[in-house]
Amino acid sequence: MRYRDFVDLSYRPSDDELICDFFVEPEGISIEEAAGGVAAESSIGTWTELTTEKPYVKRLHATVFEIDRNNIRIAYPTDLFELANMPNILSSIAGNVFGLGALRNLRLNDVHFPAKILGSFKGPRFGVDGVRKVLNVTDRPLLGTIIKPKLGLRTRDHAEVAYEAWSGGCDIVKDDENLSSQRFNIFEDRVIETLERRDRAEEVTGEKKVYMVNVTSETNSMLERAEFVEDHGGRYIMVDVLTCGFAGLQTLRNNDLNLVIHAHRAGHAAFTKDHKHGISMRVIAKVSRIIGVDQLHVGTAVGKMSEKKQEVLENIGALKSEMNGLKVVMPVASGGIHPRLVPALIDIFGEDFIVQAGGGIHGHRDGTAAGAQAMRQAVDAKMKGISLKEYAETHGELRAALEIWS
C-alpha cells in the first residue's frame, strides 16, 4: 500500500475504532500524501511497497477519513493495539511519525479512545468525589500550596512550613516536582515529620489535611515509597507522570494502594507548547486519567504558565467528560497564583478544582500562615459573592496580599 492508499474521505469509522486528530504541515508533498503517510507509518505501512504484505494485514490499516486544511482525522482498528498497554498505543499513534522528513510539523491534538481500550485500564480510584470525601470539603474549591523554596529546605524546616500552611487554612500541602530524597531532605524522614505536623494541624484546626509527598523514582523504588506513605498514615502521593513514564504510573495505579494519586505534569511543555508540533496537554490529560490519576495540573489561564483560557478549558474537559464511566479527575490550577487571581480562577474552573499557590502564599509579607489565610479569605469572598476589595476591609491578611500583588 502506498501513502495515498491510506486516505479514504468517504470512510465512516465505527464506534470501536480509535480516532486521532492531527495538525499536519507537509514538506514538499501534498496534504493528502502527508496525511496518508501519518496513517501508514502509525499503523501497517512504510515509505515503499512491500513484498511481505499479506492480504489479511491490509484489514488493519489506519484510514484518513477527514482532511480540513491542515487538520486531519485518522481511524485505527482496535486490533492494532495491545489492551491495557499505553506505551504500545502511544508508540503507534505518537511515535516515529513525528520524525518523518516529509512533515514540517505534526501535532497530535486529541485522541478518542473506544470503550474496549478504555475498559482495559483501571482509571481513577478516587476521582473528584473521592478526593472531596478524603478532605470532607464539599462546598468550595480545595486550597493547596507547594513548599517553597522548592529545593534546599532541611526536613524539620520543610515540615514546619507545611504546618504553617495547614494552620493558616490550606487543605493540601505538596512537595515540588524536583524534591525527591536528596541529602538535605531524606524521603522517609520527611514523610514521618511532615505527617506528624499534619496530625497536629488537624487537631488545631478541626479540619482534614493532606500531604502530597513526591514518590517519583525508578518504578520499584516508587512503589516502595508509596507503600511507606500508606504505612505511615498518608492519604496522598504525588507523581511526575511524564518523567517517570506512563508504564511506571500504570504499575503504581495497578497496585491498588489506598492513596490518592496527584499527577504533576513536569516536562509537559516540551510536548505541548508548540501549537504546530508535538502533543497537546489534552491528550496527556486523557491518558493520565485512563491510567488512573485522581488529580492533574492543567494550567491556569491567568497565572505564569503559557496556556490560554481555551486550552485550559479543553484540559478540564479531558478530565471531566464522559469516558466509558471513568471517574472524573480533579483539575489543579497552579503556577503564579496569588489571592487576587482567585475570582477569575473560580469563574474558569467552577468549584471542583484545586487552587494551588506557592509563592502566592509563602511570599506574603507576614509569613506562610498569613499567606494561607489570605488565599482562604479570597476563596471565601468569591463563594459568598463579595468582592475581594470589600472583603479585605475586614480581613487584614487578604488586604496585605492585595497590596503585595497589585
C-alpha cell at 58: 491490509
Catalytic residue selected from 61, 148, 362, 382: 148
**Is 148 in the active site?**
yes
Task: State the pTM of this model.
Answer: 0.96
Transcribe 296-316 into DSSP letters: EE---SSSSSS--HHHHHHHH
Domain end residue (candidates: 95, 118, 141): 118
Phi, psi of 165, rounded to the nearest 5 degrees: -65, -45
- Rounded to whole angstroms, the Cα distance separating 235 from 136 reads 13
Residuewise pLDDT in 10s, the chain (406 residues): 789 999 999 999 999 999 999 999 999 999 999 999 999 999 999 888 888 888 899 999 999 999 999 999 999 999 999 999 999 999 999 999 999 999 999 999 999 999 999 999 999 999 999 999 999 999 999 999 999 999 999 999 999 999 999 999 999 999 999 999 999 999 999 999 999 999 999 999 999 999 999 999 999 999 999 999 999 999 999 999 999 999 999 999 999 999 999 999 999 999 999 999 999 999 999 999 999 999 999 999 887 777 899 999 999 999 999 999 999 999 999 989 999 999 999 999 999 999 999 999 999 999 999 999 999 999 999 999 999 999 999 999 999 999 999 8
- Rounded to whole angstroms, the Cα distance separating 266 from 80 reads 30
The enclosing domain of 32 has a CATH number of 3.30.70.150
Beta carbons of 78 and 117 less than 8 angstroms apart: yes
In terms of domains, do 95 and 166 share one? no
Beta carbons of 284 and 268 less than 8 angstroms apart: yes
- Rounded to whole angstroms, the Cα distance separating 36 from 109 reads 17
In terms of domains, do 159 and 282 share one? yes
In sequence order, which residues have a C-beta less than 8 Å from that of residue 185 and are 6 or more positions away? 153, 154, 155, 158, 179
| DSSP secondary structure code for residue 352 in this structure | S
- Rounded to whole angstroms, the Cα distance separating 377 from 322 reads 33
In terms of domains, do 216 and 310 share one? yes
In terms of domains, do 366 and 326 share one? yes
Q: What is the three-class DSSP state of 95?
A: coil
In terms of domains, do 73 and 162 share one? no
Number of helices and strands (H, E) in the chain? 18, 13
In terms of domains, do 282 and 255 share one? yes
In terms of domains, do 78 and 140 share one? no
Domain end residue (candidates: 118, 153, 181): 118
In terms of domains, do 147 and 107 share one? no
Q: How many domains does the chain have?
A: 2
Catalytic residue selected from 61, 158, 209, 264: 264
**Is 395 in the active site?**
no
What pLDDT does residue 305 have? 76
- Rounded to whole angstroms, the Cα distance separating 296 from 265 reads 7
- Rounded to whole angstroms, the Cα distance separating 165 from 157 reads 12
In terms of domains, do 133 and 92 share one? no
Domain end residue (candidates: 60, 84, 118): 118
- Rounded to whole angstroms, the Cα distance separating 89 from 91 reads 6
Torsion of CA 44, 49, 55, 60, to 10 degrees: 20
Transcribe 13-81 into DSSP letters: --TTEEEEEEEEEESSS-HHHHHHHHHHHTTT--SS--SS--HHHHTT--EEEEEETTEEEEEEEGGGS
- Rounded to whole angstroms, the Cα distance separating 361 from 379 reads 13
Beta bridge partners of 112: 19
In terms of domains, do 258 and 320 share one? yes
- Rounded to whole angstroms, the Cα distance separating 175 from 186 reads 13
Please work out, in degrees rounded to the nearest 5, the angle formed at the alpha carbon of residue 58 by the alpha carbons of 55 and 59. Answer: 105
CB environment 330-359: b (16+ within 10 A), e (fewer)? bbbbbbebbbbbbbebbebbeebbbbbbbb
Amino acid residing at 337? I
What pLDDT does residue 55 have? 87
In terms of domains, do 295 and 352 share one? yes
Ramachandran sector of residue 301 (left: φ over 0; alpha: ψ -120 to 50; beta: rest): left
In terms of domains, do 156 and 282 share one? yes
Q: What is the three-class DSSP state of 167?
A: helix
Chain centroid to CA 156: 30
For 360, the domain range is: 127-404
